[in-house]
Copies of this chain bind each other. A is one copy, B any other.
Amino acid sequence: MSAIKIGSTYTHEVCFSQEQVNAFADVTGDHNPIHIDAEYATKTPFGRCIVHGFLAGSVFSKVFGTLFPGEGTIYMSQEMRFMAPVFPDTEYRAVFEVEETIPEKHRGVVACRLERISDGQICIEGKARILHREKL
């Protein structure tokens, strides 16, 4: 019996500090100065440091693996389109909607996006394919 159906939705709020961005740069080795050098960042089109797309997008993975559907999820694919910069110390909301399920294979296709809470600006838009033996 699948708990997650077509049309099921989930939301999760998230905020990335500059300290998290710096730590992400260290753990991944991605020291692109646009993320960690405030003076450099002022000369870019964004005007200030931006969160790594993979740190911002990791909220999708965190939600799938720990919240919705949660433990036991197998991640099959993720698409992300980076539509607008994600800034540190700013509140965002990850929004999920199940678009398709294949119950006999326990698979689902989930639309996911990251939007800025203050004005609804969509920053990342994408789609994931996941597998969960009990919930899909």
A-side interface size class: 20 to 34
Extra A-B contacts (14), CB below 8 Å, given A23-B23, A28-B62, A78-B80: A23-B27, A24-B27, A28-B59, A29-B62, A30-B58, A30-B66, A32-B65, A52-B61, A54-B54, A54-B57, A75-B82, A76-B82, A79-B79, A79-B80
29 A-B interface contacts by CB (under 8 A): A20-B27, A23-B26, A23-B27, A24-B24, A24-B27, A27-B55, A28-B62, A29-B62, A30-B61, A30-B65, A30-B66, A31-B66, A32-B62, A33-B71, A34-B65, A52-B58, A53-B75, A53-B78, A54-B57, A54-B61, A76-B82, A77-B79, A77-B80, A77-B81, A77-B82, A78-B79, A78-B80, A78-B82, A79-B80
